[in-house]
């Protein structure tokens, strides 16, 4: 163990013992370092694996579920969609520009190494309060710029995302990225070395000291010292990545590439043991063949370096030159570093000297850690906090609400991303909740990622299931059917029983939603150790759920454009569920209350009902109701469509005691539907047949948003709403408005 | 009619332009790798958008020295249509085929959004299907799109009717708000004196199919139709 400390590794005593037993001898320094990278939480899922088994992974569209670099779904006509989710939280907290940029780079290669071309990105970001913290504004600005510079340069559009601000992310921002790829099913390639005699070619950038211990770093809590750890953040080079993407796709077209693995977390050690373990073979490499950035690198450094823009190719023996020619065309560096063997060992040599020979299976399967869980006391306490007083001037409150950074327009963010390149983006950021992309076979996919740390903090089970429900609502609102999901689970230190309790509840909530709604999980990621070094507190639990929807034709797609004369209906009942709402937290500064609950049976009926209404062509436009409740949803609707609305609040089906609850509750399962006069009765009949509450609550007219409550009226000019909604973020970020 | 779409290392919109030419317009077009020498046999050439050579040093400056640019210059001199879109415009400017310079946007940020463009000159090989003063919708996506030229150069541009597109409001009036990058006189595209070389920052290939356009317009398509001299 002393050696482990001297080498600055994170291996536990049990893990060293596991390694010792597996080897049948004392491990060398190199073996300790390799196991440390491979068995980091980040690479091995050692704490989360037992719980993740709860998630359903099978389904009609699923070709490959979790466990690979990306999930694969069948989108028809011989085409597949690949999808993966990743985060780069710790690197971005230290170096926001480089951390966020390399996060994009990493996930692009995950998609690429399945043999598919990356076609779209979603960026899901969480920071501390940009109202009060200049540090958070700095992180926000540079994270967005890092994503922008990288994604734009490689020519993969960033078609959507989400941004949330909460003080728990002050020193541990969350930078999640989802990537999608498209290709032919027949062109899929896996991260495996199946044929002894094949060559292993390392392609791309030089191996250097940047990114050393990156995975272990990601699996430890950020400390004061972390600021000194910039060498653990990789240096981004989007141009090199772009050349790798094109060279890889061209190389794959030769049919000689039989395995492909992105080198990300854990570097060569992870890459080599994984391709051998998955392929049921062994590998033998010579470290003197690895092109290095610095001459004097130690074998340990070479094996665990996480230098960016590198891929491992497994190429059919005898055809190396055919593939190499393509790398030369693109000016991409490559080196044949070894070969596939049949002995099931990872053999690392320096010239003729064998440095280590270790079973691939031992390395690739970290010993599982069974963690214990304890429900924190605050959960029950915070449920019972007294309600705040209802504001006198609710019009003013609505203006304040839509100016909150969590609700205000994110145009400042998405305008910095090229969301058009590739000619696939049908519904663009700001237009609809979910982005819609066309596929080469004439079908359409919708993609959306959601999170809600405030709900999940107060009630991780309902919060997490609710995040899933919210992502699905966005997918349904554009007229597509949810067919698959990805999850990214971000929590504090799993050895903290309360953190692990929240994690377990969250996974349970997601799994229950997935099972009930029959939406399989095709991939995911777990990120632990997200803690604030100053307060010593974990971030609020933050599962991020990405959902993919599919539509067979353009006719199925529904916009969110409401024009004059449109009748406005609401689906679903509004309940007094304001815990974790923007209204409680942003307006009243109140953390507590009961968060929106998820009723799985209701959700099943709702999905079928909404798709039926859309497929019958009864909905001219749809919006889902989420953050900020009915008030924020209708205000945004007015702004985006440039129209006014007159709403009779007494018509809204509800179980609330107060007007503010109807306006601001974030109850799940609600949609706003616009219909032509005369069609609203048909919509109501369909809803009744599914036992979904539905009422006509108003009409699109004039230039004001008006809520009628008996004789009282709340009245807001759409121009004022728009100014408030659009100006918040540019103003906070120092841009002229 | 056969069009060459040049692929530089880092080009991004090469396949997009190729798709519009072949799948939407049904004309013959090839993706030509920049190191593959010759453009003989082509009737026109397009330099697509992207980040050639990562835009390292300065946008378009390295690609301007690619051997293929000799061929592009030859075609320009022969009066054949040469179109540069976004990064392609930057390359044409850097190689001296078009006057002026493209500088960092005034907002110091990448900007991707749909803008309105007014046609200032409909006598070029690329705009003859538009009417003068017509307002078009196309998206922009760039970091270095602020057009600049010295006063002398600007005078010459005007004298020779070389300003082809300006950013405007939807009704065609210019305003500070509608100028997305701080371009001098809201210039979005310029041509050479002969009118056979055009560079523009907006992406006509992204405004060529109704399904991809927020308003359903396909204004960009006419740039290619004009270039190809397609009837109908």
Query: Which residues of chain A have a pLDDT value below 70?
Result: 211-234, 736-737
Enumerate residues 6+ apart whose C-beta is below 8 A from B28: B1, B2, B3, B22
The answer to whether residues B39 and B47 touch, using CB atoms and an 8 Å cutoff, is no
Q: What is the per-residue pLDDT for A736?
A: 57
Number of domains chain B contains: 1
Q: What is the per-residue pLDDT for B229?
A: 81
Residues of chain B contacting residue A416, judged by C-beta atoms under 8 Å apart: 109-112
Q: What is the per-residue pLDDT for A7?
A: 82
Q: What is the per-residue pLDDT for B232?
A: 43
* CB–CB contact A148 B214 (8 Å): no
* CB–CB contact B10 A243 (8 Å): yes
Domain regions of chain A by residue span: 189-366
Q: Which residue of A has its CA nearest to B23?
A: A440
Q: Which residue of A has its CA nearest to B51?
A: A153
For chain B, strand residue ranges (E) read: 2-7, 28-33, 44-47, 82-85, 101-103, 111-119, 135-142, 146-148, 163-168, 187-191, 197-200
The answer to whether residues A102 and A140 touch, using CB atoms and an 8 Å cutoff, is no
By Cβ distance, the residue of B13, B19, B51 closest to A153 is B51
Residues of chain A contacting residue B205, judged by C-beta atoms under 8 Å apart: 423
* CB–CB contact A242 B54 (8 Å): yes
Cα(A685)–Cα(A613) distance, integer angstroms: 10
A423 in B contact zone (CB under 8 Å): yes
Q: Is the pLDDT of residue B203 over 80?
A: yes
Q: Which residue of B has its CA nearest to A432?
A: B214
Q: List C-alpha distances in Å: A509 to A55, A690, B218.
A: 10, 24, 46
Nearest to A698 by CA among A573, A568, A574, A570: A568
b/e map A300-334, b = 16+ CB within 10 Å: bbbbbbbbbbbbbbbbbeebbeebbebbebbebbb
By Cβ distance, the residue of B19, B33, B112 closest to A417 is B112
Q: What is the per-residue pLDDT for A219?
A: 59
Which domain range does residue B178 map to? 2-228
B170 in A contact zone (CB under 8 Å): no
* CB–CB contact B51 A331 (8 Å): no
Q: Which of residues 497-556 of A touch B (CB under 8 A)?
A: 554
The answer to whether residues A109 and A265 touch, using CB atoms and an 8 Å cutoff, is no
Q: Secondary structure of chain B: what % helix, strand, coil (to 5)?
A: 25, 25, 45
Cα(A499)–Cα(A539) distance, integer angstroms: 10
A221 in B contact zone (CB under 8 Å): no
B33 in A contact zone (CB under 8 Å): yes
Enumerate residues 6+ apart whose C-beta is below 8 A from A282: A196, A276, A340, A341, A342, A343, A344, A345, A346, A347, A360
By Cβ distance, the residue of A242, A421, A424 closest to B141 is A421
| Alpha-carbon gap: A426 to the closest alpha carbon of chain B (Å) | 5
By Cβ distance, the residue of A148, A238, A421 closest to B54 is A238
Residues of chain B contacting residue A554, judged by C-beta atoms under 8 Å apart: 211
Q: What is the per-residue pLDDT for A215?
A: 57
A71-76 and A62-64 beta bridge pairing: antiparallel
Catalytic sites of B, residue numbers: 86, 203, 205
* CB–CB contact B16 A426 (8 Å): no
- Encode A290-347 in three state secondary structure: CCECCCCCCHHHHHHCCCCCEEEEEECCCCHHHHHHHHHHCCCCEEEEEEEECCCEEE
Cα(A155)–Cα(B86) distance, integer angstroms: 13
* CB–CB contact B10 A239 (8 Å): yes
CATH of the domain at B137: 3.40.50.880
Strand partners, A285: A338, A348
* CB–CB contact B9 A554 (8 Å): no
A250 in B contact zone (CB under 8 Å): no
Write down the catalytic residue from A18, A84, A88, A455: A88
Cα(A331)–Cα(A197) distance, integer angstroms: 27
* CB–CB contact A242 B51 (8 Å): yes
The values of phi and psi at residue A432, to 5°, are: -140, 165
A131 in B contact zone (CB under 8 Å): no
Residue with tokens 């949330």: A164
Q: CB count, 10 Å around CB of B172?
A: 15
Residues of chain B contacting residue A152, judged by C-beta atoms under 8 Å apart: 51, 110, 141, 143
Q: In the predicted model, what is the mean pLDDT of residues B45-55? A: 95
**Could you report the predicted ipTM of this complex, rounded to two decimals?**
0.96
Q: What is the per-residue pLDDT for A535?
A: 83
What single DSSP character describes residue A80?
A: E
Q: List C-alpha distances in Å: A160 to A178, A428, A507, A559.
A: 10, 8, 25, 16
pLDDT digits (tens, 9 = 90+) for B1-48: 899 999 999 999 999 999 999 999 999 999 999 998 789 999 999 999
Q: What is the per-residue pLDDT for A619?
A: 95
B101-103 and B146-148 beta bridge pairing: antiparallel
Indicate if the alpha-carbon torsion angle A283, A289, A292, A296 is positive or negative.
positive
| Alpha-carbon gap: B72 to the closest alpha carbon of chain A (Å) | 21
pLDDT digits (tens, 9 = 90+) for A24-78: 999 999 999 999 988 988 888 999 999 999 999 999 999 999 988 899 999 999 9
Global confidence as pTM: 0.95
3-class secondary structure, A431: coil
* CB–CB contact A423 B205 (8 Å): yes
Residues of chain B contacting residue A425, judged by C-beta atoms under 8 Å apart: 212
Cα(A443)–Cα(A433) distance, integer angstroms: 19
* CB–CB contact A152 B51 (8 Å): yes
The answer to whether residues A355 and A349 touch, using CB atoms and an 8 Å cutoff, is yes
Specify the CATH number for A189-366; select among 3.40.50.1370, 3.90.650.10, 3.90.1150.10, 2.160.10.10. Answer: 3.90.650.10
For B10-162, strand residue ranges (E) read: 28-33, 44-47, 82-85, 101-103, 111-119, 135-142, 146-148
Mean pLDDT of chain B: 95
Q: Which residue of A has its CA nearest to B177?
A: A737
Q: What is the per-residue pLDDT for A8?
A: 83
A187 in B contact zone (CB under 8 Å): no
* CB–CB contact A148 B50 (8 Å): no
Q: Which helix H or strand E contains A149, and what residues bound it?
A: helix A134-154
Q: Which of residues 426-485 of A touch B (CB under 8 A)?
A: 426, 428, 431, 438
């Amino acid at each position: 163990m002393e050696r482990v400390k001297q080498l600055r590794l994170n291996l536990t005593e049990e893990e060293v013992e596991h390694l010792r037993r597996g080897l049948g001898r004392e491990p060398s320094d190199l073996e300790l370092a390799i196991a440390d990278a491979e068995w980091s939480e980040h690479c091995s899922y050692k704490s989360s694996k037992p719980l993740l088994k709860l998630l359903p992974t099978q389904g009609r569209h699923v070709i490959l579920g979790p466990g690979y670099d990306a999930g694969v779904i069948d989108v028809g006509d011989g085409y597949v969609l690949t999808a993966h989710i990743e985060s780069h939280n710790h690197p971005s907290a230290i170096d926001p520009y480089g951390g966020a940029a390399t996060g994009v780079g990493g996930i692009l290669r995950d998609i690429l190494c399945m043999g598919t071309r990356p076609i779209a990105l979603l960026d899901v970001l969480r920071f501390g309060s940009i109202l009060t913290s200049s540090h958070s504004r700095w992180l926000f600005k540079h994270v967005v710029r890092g994503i922008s510079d990288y994604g734009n340069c490689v020519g993969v559009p960033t078609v959507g995302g989400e941004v949330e601000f909460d003080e728990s992310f002050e020193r541990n921002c969350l930078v999640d990225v989802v990537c999608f790829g498209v290709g032919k099913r027949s062109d899929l390639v896996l991260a495996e070395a199946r044929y002894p005699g094949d060559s292993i070619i390392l392609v791309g950038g030089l191996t250097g000291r940047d990114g050393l211990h990156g995975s272990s770093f990601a699996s430890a809590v950020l400390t004061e010292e972390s600021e000194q750890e910039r060498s653990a953040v990789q240096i981004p080079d989007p141009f090199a990545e772009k050349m790798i993407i094109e060279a890889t796709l061209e190389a794959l077209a030769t049919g000689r590439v039989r395995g492909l693995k992105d080198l990300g977390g854990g570097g060569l050690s992870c890459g080599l043991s994984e391709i051998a373990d998955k392929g049921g073979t062994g590998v033998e490499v010579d470290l003197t063949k690895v092109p290095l950035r610095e001459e004097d690198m130690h074998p340990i450094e070479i094996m665990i370096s996480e230098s960016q823009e590198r891929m491992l190719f497994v190429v059919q023996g005898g055809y190396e030159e055919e593939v190499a020619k393509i790398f030369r065309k693109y000016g991409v560096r490559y080196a044949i570093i070894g070969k596939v063997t049949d002995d099931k060992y990872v053999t690392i040599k320096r010239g003729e000297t064998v440095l280590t020979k270790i079973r691939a299976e031992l390395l690739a399967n970290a010993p599982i850690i069974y963690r214990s869980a304890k429900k924190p006391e605050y959960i029950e306490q915070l449920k019972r906090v007294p309600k705040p007083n209802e504001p006198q001037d609710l019009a003013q409150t609505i203006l304040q609400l839509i100016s909150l950074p969590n609700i205000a327009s994110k145009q400042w963010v998405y305008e910095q991303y090229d969301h058009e390149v590739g000619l696939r983006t049908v519904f663009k950021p700001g237009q609809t909740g979910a982005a819609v992309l066309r596929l080469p076979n004439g079908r359409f996919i919708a993609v959306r990622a959601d999170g809600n740390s405030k709900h999940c903090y107060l009630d991780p089970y309902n919060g997490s299931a609710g995040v899933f429900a919210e992502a699905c609502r966005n997918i349904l609102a554009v007229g597509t059917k949810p067919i698959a999901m990805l999850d990214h689970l971000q929590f504090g230190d799993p050895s903290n029983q309360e953190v692990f309790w929240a994690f377990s509840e969250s996974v349970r909530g997601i799994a229950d939603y997935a099972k009930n709604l029959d939406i399989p999980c095709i991939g995911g990621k777990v990120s632990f150790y997200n803690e604030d070094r100053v307060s010593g507190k974990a971030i609020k639990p933050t599962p991020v759920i990405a959902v993919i929807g599919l539509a067979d034709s353009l006719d199925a797609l529904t916009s969110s454009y409401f024009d004059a004369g449109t009748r406005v209906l609401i689906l679903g009942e509004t309940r007094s569920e304001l815990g974790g709402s923007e209204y409680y937290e942003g307006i009243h500064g109140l953390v507590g209350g009961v968060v929106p609950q998820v009723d799985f049976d209701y959700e099943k009926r709702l999905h079928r009902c909404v798709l039926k209404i859309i497929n019958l062509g009864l909905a001219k436009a749809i919006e889902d109701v989420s953050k900020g409740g009915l008030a924020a949803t209708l205000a945004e609707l007015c702004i985006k469509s440039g129209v006014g609305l007159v709403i009779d609040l007494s018509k809204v089906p509800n179980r609330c005691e107060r007007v503010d609850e109807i306006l601001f509750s974030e109850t799940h399962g609600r949609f706003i539907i616009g219909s032509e006069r005369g069609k609203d009765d048909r919509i109501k009949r369909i809803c009744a047949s599914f036992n979904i509450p539905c009422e006509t609550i108003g009409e699109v007219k004039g230039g004001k948003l008006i809520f009628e409550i008996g004789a009282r009226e709340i009245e807001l000019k759409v121009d004022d709403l728009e100014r408030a909604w659009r100006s918040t973020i540019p103003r906070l970020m120092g841009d002229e408005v | 009619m056969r069009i060459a779409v040049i692929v530089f290392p880092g080009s991004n919109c090469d396949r997009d332009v190729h798709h519009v030419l072949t799948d939407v317009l049904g004309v013959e077009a090839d993706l030509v790798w920049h190191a593959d020498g010759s453009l003989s046999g082509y009737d026109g050439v397009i330099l697509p958008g992207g980040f050639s050579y990562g835009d390292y040093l300065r946008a378009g400056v390295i690609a301007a020295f690619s051997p293929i640019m000799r061929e592009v210059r030859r075609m320009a001199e022969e009066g054949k249509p040469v179109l540069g879109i976004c990064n392609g415009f930057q390359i044409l400017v850097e190689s001296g085929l078009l006057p002026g310079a493209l500088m960092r946007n005034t907002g110091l940020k990448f900007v991707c959004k749909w803008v309105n463009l007014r046609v200032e000159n409909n006598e070029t090989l690329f705009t003859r299907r538009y009417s003068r003063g017509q307002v078009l919708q196309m998206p922009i996506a760039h970091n270095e799109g602020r057009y600049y030229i010295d006063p002398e150069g600007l005078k010459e541009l005007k004298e020779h009717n070389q300003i082809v597109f300006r950013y405007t409001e939807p009704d065609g009036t210019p305003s500070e708000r509608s100028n997305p990058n701080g371009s001098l006189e809201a210039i979005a595209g310029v041509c050479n004196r002969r009118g056979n070389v055009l560079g523009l920052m907006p992406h006509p290939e992204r405004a060529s199919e109704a399904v991809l356009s927020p308003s359903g317009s396909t204004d960009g398509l006419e740039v290619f139709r004009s270039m190809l001299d397609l009837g109908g």
